[in-house]
A = this chain, B = another copy of it.
Amino acid sequence: MENDITGVILELERDALKRWGSGDPDGFLEISATGVSYFDPMQATRLDGLDRLSALYDTIRGKIKIDSSEIVNPRVQIAGDAAVLTYQFISRGSEGTMRWNSTAVYQRDAGRWRIIHSHWSFVQPVLAPKT
Contacts and interface: CB of A to CB of B under 8 A. Distances in A.
Interface of A: 35, 37, 39, 41-46, 48, 72-73, 75, 77, 79-82, 84, 86-88, 96, 101, 103, 105, 107, 116-117, 119, 121-130
Contacts of A86: 37, 39, 46, 117, 119
Contacts of A82: 79-82, 84, 105
Copies of the chain in the assembly: 2
Question: Would you call the interface of chain A mostly helix, strand, loop, or mixed?
Answer: strand
A87 to B, nearest CB: 8
A86 to B, nearest CB: 5
Given A121-B122, A127-B126, A127-B127, A39 B107 contact: no
